[in-house]
Amino acid sequence: MRKWFNHEAEKWLEFQRRYIEELKAMPGEVREFRELLKEHSQVTLLYGAKDESHNQAVVLRDFLKSKNTP
């Protein structure tokens, strides 16, 4: 999916939507990750993009912070 996105700004909203759907399809992994977050006060999400605002780590951070996600 990241290759499809190719850091093209016009695809950003669709990339976010698709990535969130992918995360929602893995509730066990998300739950496990949230449990780890409870144990650690700080977590670093890594990404390989040059764009600090439009990358998978931004979507993952916002998804994990959201109270409306599994």
Is residue 61 a part of any domain in this protein?
Answer: yes
Instruction: Name the pTM for this structure.
Output: 0.85
Amino acid occupying residue 1: M
Residue type for 46, please?
Answer: L
Q: What is the CA radius of gyration of the chain?
A: 13
Judge whether 70 lies within some domain: no
Assigned domain for 14 exists: yes
Q: Report H helices in 1-70.
A: 2-5, 12-24, 27-39, 56-65
25 within some domain: yes
The span from the CA of 37 to the CA of 15, in Å, is 24
Contact 22, 4 (CB under 8 A): no
Q: What's the pLDDT score for residue 67?
A: 75
Structural domain count of the chain: 1
What SS3 class is residue 68? Answer: coil
Q: Tell me the percentage of the chain whose pLDDT exceeds 90.
A: 59
Domain boundaries, position 45: 2-65
State pLDDT tens for residues 1-56: 878 898 888 999 999 999 999 999 999 999 998 898 889 988 899 998 899 999 99
- Tell me if 7 is assigned to some domain: yes
